[in-house]
Structure 1
Amino acid sequence: MSSRPEVRTTGNLRPLELATGAVMAGFTVALSVIATVIPLASALHFVAAVPMGIVAQRFRLRAVVASGISATVVAFVAAGSGSASAVALCVLIGGIIGNVKRRGRGFPSALLASFVVGPLVALYSIVLLLILSPLRNLILDSLDYTARGVAAILKRWPPLIGSGEWIENSVGTIVDYWWVWIAATATLGIVFTTVVSYFVLGAVLDRLAAIPTEDQLESALDTRPIGPLPLALEHVGFTYPGAHSASLTDINFTIDRGEFIAIVGHNGSGKSTLTRLLAGRAPSTGIVVRPGAAGLGRTGGTAVVLQRPESQILGTRVADDVVWGLQPDHLPDVEALLAEVGLGGMAMRETSSLSGGEMQRLAVAAALARKPALLIADEATAMVDRAGREELVELLATLPRRHDMAVVLVTHHQADTRRADRVIQLHGGRQIEHQPHWMLGAGPTTPSAPWPRSTRPLLEISNVSHTYNNRTPWSRTALTDVNLTIGAGDGLLVLGGNGSGKSTLAWIMAGLTVPTAGTALFEDKPIAKEVGSVGLTFQHSRLQLQRRTVAEDIEAAGGPEIGTTQVSWALDAVGLDRNLAGRSIDQLSGGQMRRLVLAGLLVRQPRLLILDEPLAGLDPPGRAAIMNVLSWIRRNGTAIVVISHDVDGMDAVCSRTIHLADGILAENPVSMEEAQR
């Protein structure tokens, strides 16, 4: 039976709506409680409406209602009726402004909505106080005493005696006709707050509107029983909304139980798009044939393991994460599952203490807990060292033999395909039969040559040790007694497996982390007090890009003196087309994002550049491009430290190597030739 349903726009809340609503509700509660408890922070009430405005701007009304009710209940339990009322008001105002923005309407619509909602809130308040007479009496008594106290104070000054007497005479009338007072204050309060919030909150929502909110794993509506296999793609194509060309064209293959299939291709070839179709998204052309629904994330359906395992880990302990979201009557044998993926005896370990390879294994265990018929590993080996990658591929390859399932591994590493029953190759969004030249190697890089290196120390790491959560029961040692000197114009490769302490060392060298013991000096000054002197690229480039467009991000990284000329120079330096300057960050590929981060750092002309896993997730052409950029940077006088577990071709950038293991620096340096062997 074929499946070509439309993307769901009605029905129950979608996972993205639930997740976003829960997070935003938490922000609203936190901000409202702070604003209620701390008098000087009352202005945060306006800020607290922003999260609810985001939900209303991006999702259906039911998402706002669900998140608003949950936020109000949590606020009542945490801080009482006052905070609950404040949260409810934030939900109301945020809902009005967000909904107006979502529909593309302006201030008159928001004002009209406030004149409709205000009387309704007033009517609700009057009815509530009629029913809860003790609460009504308490409010009115409080108002009476407060007004008389203010009048008594005013009457102490002769010029204000008249004002004090007027307040005394008026308060009695207000108490007698309290429903009129409630109606007027509630209505005018809603109108005034909506007007102010429209310009304050609306400006924030307009800025956030550029951030994409599409659920990349959104499944098409399919009411059939779960049955993802056997699966067949027949002349399948896909074009993203607003795109000028198709991401996939004429894809044809099948998947059946018991198979381990590898999908390979370089960045931008369509692998991730194909993953989404296999997970249940409807194609633009062609048909996906399966006996039932894809059942993404449901028992017996389809499970997806992503490139960044930390984005899938929700439990604080390993055992908690395996069973997260499962019904009590569907709980698996956790110890057996962990043993199967190589995490035996780790059930009580904190998930934050796991290495990258261990996190990926945990993600596989959590997927297996749902007994999937189809398991998709999307670039799951990209952030794992070579040994860990081989072990993870071996695990995935053997799963179809032990379970009634199929496994699809999406990768750009040709070595990951050796155990595959079949290999499906993509190039330019099309399925190809023969292995192209770009799959055979990393491509051309700048040839190695003698490097000029100054003997003058630039960065000195002396007896550095670092312990996370120091002096607590959760302490974890990441580095122990590390000594290292980086000279001007140096090129250093820092090797080590996942969890060896490489990233911690990178953050210390950049001044972003102060070591527990020892010193880190940049030109004889503590680097922690010279943050910005050393450039650092993160493992995940997207986390480092904070502006909407390419040009804006380079300008923000370089400072106020950076203009169009410097932006163009930076783009040229890292091999990016100048026409990308106005493009949105989220329209870039992974390799382009990495080069953009480098461009932003280069305009500051750092003397030392630290790159944490710069080749992770890149295909051979992308690797070659980054290596050429790094080689050019070093030849122009910048010292470079590359922290990686991937050494192929790294001699084009680095002239010496050190090795970290369990946070300890090896005594004998490793040559580049030995590292590559």
Structure 2
Amino acid sequence: MTDTPAAQLRGPLRPIELATAAVMAGLTVGLITVGSLVPMAAALQLVAAVPLGLLAHRYRLRALVTATIAATLVTFVAAGIMPALGVLGAATLAGIIGTVKRRGGGLPTVLAWSVVAGISWSLFTVGTLLLFSRTRQLFFDAIRNTAEGIEKLAARQPQLEPLGRMTAEATDAVLRWWWLYIGGSVALGVITSAVISWFVLGSVLDRLAWLPGSDRLDAPADDRPIAPLPVSLHEVGYRYDGASTEALSGIELTIRPAEFVAVVGHNGSGKSTLTRVLAGRPPTTGTVVRPGSAGLGELGGTALVLQRPESQTLGVSVADDVVWGLSAELAAEVDVDGLLAEVGLAGMGARETAALSGGQQQRLAVAAALARRPALLIADEATSMIDPDGRRDLVALLAELPRRHGTAVVLVTHHEADAAAADRVIHLANGRMVEHLASWPQPARDQRRRPMGAPILELSGVRHTYHRGTPWEAPALHGVDLSVRQGEALLIVGGNGSGKSTLAWIMAGLVDPSEGRATLRGAPVARKIGDIALAFQHSRLQLQKQTVGAEIADWGGRATGSGAVGQALDAVGLDRTLAARSIEELSGGQAKRVVLAAMVASRPQVVVLDEPLAGLDPQGRAEIVELLARLRDSGLTLIVISHDVADMAAVCDRTVHLDTGVIVETARQPVATAAGRGPIWRLDNPPHKEPGIR
């Protein structure tokens, strides 16, 4: 199925259009406002047309109009009338260039539309000056006084006196025929700017054309009453636009009310595509039968919890996010506190969503889905970012929904224990349903092949509080002391909200601690940006270039040639032919490897990995663990933050347990020492805690 061209769409704005318009409007407001209020940042106003141009290039004109109105009003409130007019000017150029590009036109079309726009702006300007006569008179008096001042100054020098008289006469002529001069200047300015923008802004839009702009959850309007179940798929297949193979093929499946179904399979097996079809996206082949519409996001319809919960977080506070999008009447009926308690977020309704950890955001997404009392709840890797205890609790909650609320649950997962709780399990392989999957490998313990060195990274008394000194301050770390040795592989574990990600950002030098010191070889890590590389939980967020090779070369610096790119790919076990592959074509496991390859190219002293196994199937987890073991044995220092303790224990030398911002215990695995005395066991515990190994 291909996306419907913008020119053929009818009706209200689609969710993807609304979401993109909101983002682009926000960028435009920021660029115009900062550029107008900060003298040194005035150049930002020159690029303000890019976000709106991208919007006009991808979507219907009404999306641009909606974004422009919102951005103009916000800019007027924030910065005044002139910056607001700047937004309108940027939108004019963006609309002309983006629309002409989208429709395949050329410079003659741009000239035609710019003439229309120029005349419109000319009439607007002249009309405004006619309407506000006092403002016009003050403006003209200022011009006339300036001309008289120039004439008087010129009269002091005989040779400049003719120039002064010419200036006064020209000013009188302009003010006498002001509507003609001002209107013509405005029209000419718009036409000239449009022509220049065709080459400048048009080139930018051409370079950004590879960025994805489709909504994979988009579905045609269905006017039937909301009734998503039972839903039956008959010989269903799905092929993405431009793909050479089908993501799904020959699917025969029925989901009935009040049942719990698990869907398992390797990365790339078609699990997420299946959830999109169940959520209402039409297949490219086969049929989907249900008694009414899927009602995605509607009360009593289908609720979908995605792999990346931050993409579904819209409210400023936790309580607001639970009922976001519901009418005031429906929101008043929702037991927000009860839902938050059900998903393990009791008492957190007033917290800012920006202060939540990844796992807490995932729990919040489930609570928001339940607030809509769905008949069908689809959870696509909804447990991937949650700690083991929380994952068990959440799966138990999902398993209870069919019995307690009559909700059918479809859980996509890589965890066998999660699937075991379901009424039945659907196995997918290469887009097809199979009887069962081949046995998945488990990482085997990898013995260290070289000794560790002296301490390289040290944290002393590190504390951190977000929004410190404000009513919204949120303590995250409470006095962390930690020393990491050269070549060591350190595992940091802890529940959601324990401060692990905050600690990772501080170690990478991206956040300065509120108190304490974080040093790399004795120097503050904030001064050593780049020497400690941080791999985010979601690898796709770090990949900004169009191809794999360009991404790795960008990390390694301009001097990185094809040979260095190939060596980086070799180091992470990827074929060198992948260098030409588009970033958008990578699987989750490949994206994580590309980030690691880019880090290898940048040659950091320490690599910090935040949840490197999240979202990967057991095969992918085993491959990443093996890769990390190779990097460790090459002498690279690794700090791994993960909930997958059993898998990561195969490569890590030591485990640090973080609880509510405090290290409560540390355990070492048997490692080789520099003195060559063979393996040792060592356990370090603060005196106020009972000994224990995790």
TM-score > 0.5, shorter chain as reference: yes
Alpha-carbon spacing, 1:513–1:348, altered in 2? closer, same or farther (3 Å): closer
CA–CA separation in structure 2 for the residues paired with 1:518 and 1:79: 39
> 1:324 Cα shift?
1.3
Counterpart of 2:580?
582
Bigger shift: residues 351-360 or 596-605: 351-360
Contact between 1:648 and 1:676, CA under 8 Å: does it hold in 2?
no
Contact between 1:453 and 1:488, CA under 8 Å: does it hold in 2?
no
Counterpart of 2:335?
333
Residues 1:423 and 2:425 aligned together: yes
- 1:416-455 correspondence runs (5 A): 416-438=418-440, 441-442=441-442, 445=443, 447-455=445-453
CA–CA separation in structure 1 for the residues paired with 2:650 and 2:242: 40
Residues 1:79 and 2:79 aligned together: yes
Alpha-carbon spacing, 1:40–1:356, altered in 2? closer, same or farther (3 Å): closer
Counterpart of 1:538?
536
Deviation digits for residues 296-321 of structure 1 (CA, Å, limit 9, x no counterpart): 11222211111222221222222111
Contact between 2:52 and 2:94, CA under 8 Å: does it hold in 1?
yes
CA–CA separation in structure 1 for the residues paired with 2:655 and 2:58: 49
Counterpart of 1:612?
610
Bigger shift: residues 425-434 or 323-332: 323-332
Contact between 2:226 and 2:293, CA under 8 Å: does it hold in 1?
yes
Which residue type is aligned with residue 406 of structure 1? Answer: A
Counterpart of 1:397?
399
Which residue type is aligned with residue 46 of structure 1? Answer: L
> 1:34 Cα shift?
3.5
Contact between 2:544 and 2:551, CA under 8 Å: does it hold in 1?
yes
> 1:39 Cα shift?
5.4
> 1:646 Cα shift?
0.6
CA–CA separation in structure 2 for the residues paired with 1:152 and 1:27: 47
Contact between 2:20 and 2:55, CA under 8 Å: does it hold in 1?
yes
> 1:421 Cα shift?
1.4
Secondary structure, counterpart of 2:325 in structure 1: coil
Which residue type is aligned with residue 182 of structure 1? Answer: I
Which residue type is aligned with residue 526 of structure 1? Answer: P
CA–CA separation in structure 2 for the residues paired with 1:5 and 1:495: 43
Alpha-carbon spacing, 1:376–1:183, altered in 2? closer, same or farther (3 Å): same
> 1:9 Cα shift?
2.2
CA–CA separation in structure 1 for the residues paired with 2:572 and 2:418: 29
> 1:254 Cα shift?
0.9
Alpha-carbon spacing, 1:178–1:666, altered in 2? closer, same or farther (3 Å): same
- 1:302-381 correspondence runs (5 A): 302-331=302-331, 332-381=334-383
Counterpart of 2:599?
601
Contact between 1:607 and 1:637, CA under 8 Å: does it hold in 2?
no
CA–CA separation in structure 2 for the residues paired with 1:558 and 1:430: 40
Residues 1:24 and 2:24 aligned together: yes
Q: How many residues align?
A: 671
Secondary structure, counterpart of 2:237 in structure 1: strand
Which residue type is aligned with residue 258 of structure 1? Answer: A
CA–CA separation in structure 1 for the residues paired with 2:129 and 2:196: 28
- 1:27-46 correspondence runs (5 A): 27-38=27-38, 41-46=41-46
Alpha-carbon spacing, 1:620–1:285, altered in 2? closer, same or farther (3 Å): same
Alpha-carbon spacing, 1:153–1:640, altered in 2? closer, same or farther (3 Å): same
Which residue type is aligned with residue 436 of structure 1? Answer: A
CA–CA separation in structure 2 for the residues paired with 1:151 and 1:621: 83
Counterpart of 2:477?
479
Which residue type is aligned with residue 176 of structure 1? Answer: R
Alpha-carbon spacing, 1:132–1:557, altered in 2? closer, same or farther (3 Å): same
Alpha-carbon spacing, 1:302–1:147, altered in 2? closer, same or farther (3 Å): farther
Secondary structure, counterpart of 2:544 in structure 1: coil
Counterpart of 1:233?
233
Alpha-carbon spacing, 1:19–1:38, altered in 2? closer, same or farther (3 Å): same
Contact between 2:360 and 2:497, CA under 8 Å: does it hold in 1?
no
Contact between 2:445 and 2:651, CA under 8 Å: does it hold in 1?
no
Contact between 2:357 and 2:496, CA under 8 Å: does it hold in 1?
yes
Alpha-carbon spacing, 1:333–1:575, altered in 2? closer, same or farther (3 Å): same
Unaligned runs of 5+ in 1: none
Deviation digits for residues 447-474 of structure 1 (CA, Å, limit 9, x no counterpart): 5224422342222222322222233332
> 1:381 Cα shift?
0.6
CA–CA separation in structure 2 for the residues paired with 1:132 and 1:82: 15
Alpha-carbon spacing, 1:118–1:59, altered in 2? closer, same or farther (3 Å): same
Percent identity reads 53
Bigger shift: residues 193-202 or 547-556: 193-202
Unaligned runs of 5+ in 2: 671-680, 684-691
Which residue type is aligned with residue 558 of structure 1? Answer: G
Deviation digits for residues 210-248 of structure 1 (CA, Å, limit 9, x no counterpart): 211111211222222222111111111000011111000
Deviation digits for residues 23-76 of structure 1 (CA, Å, limit 9, x no counterpart): 212222232234444556544332111121111111111111121122223333
Which residue type is aligned with residue 619 of structure 1? Answer: D
Secondary structure, counterpart of 2:48 in structure 1: helix
Bigger shift: residues 110-119 or 156-165: 156-165
CA–CA separation in structure 2 for the residues paired with 1:345 and 1:217: 33
Counterpart of 2:688?
none
Bigger shift: residues 282-291 or 163-172: 163-172
Residues 1:625 and 2:623 aligned together: yes
Alpha-carbon spacing, 1:149–1:377, altered in 2? closer, same or farther (3 Å): farther
CA–CA separation in structure 2 for the residues paired with 1:340 and 1:448: 40
CA–CA separation in structure 1 for the residues paired with 2:208 and 2:460: 44
Alpha-carbon spacing, 1:351–1:74, altered in 2? closer, same or farther (3 Å): closer
RMSD between aligned residues: 2.6
Residues 1:99 and 2:102 aligned together: no
Contact between 1:46 and 1:197, CA under 8 Å: does it hold in 2?
no
CA–CA separation in structure 2 for the residues paired with 1:500 and 1:632: 29
CA–CA separation in structure 2 for the residues paired with 1:334 and 1:153: 74
Which residue type is aligned with residue 49 of structure 1? Answer: A
CA–CA separation in structure 2 for the residues paired with 1:491 and 1:342: 31
Which residue type is aligned with residue 277 of structure 2? Answer: L
- Residue of 466, 469, 476 corresponding to 1:468: 466
Residues 1:502 and 2:504 aligned together: no
Bigger shift: residues 617-626 or 660-669: 660-669
Which residue type is aligned with residue 427 of structure 1? Answer: A
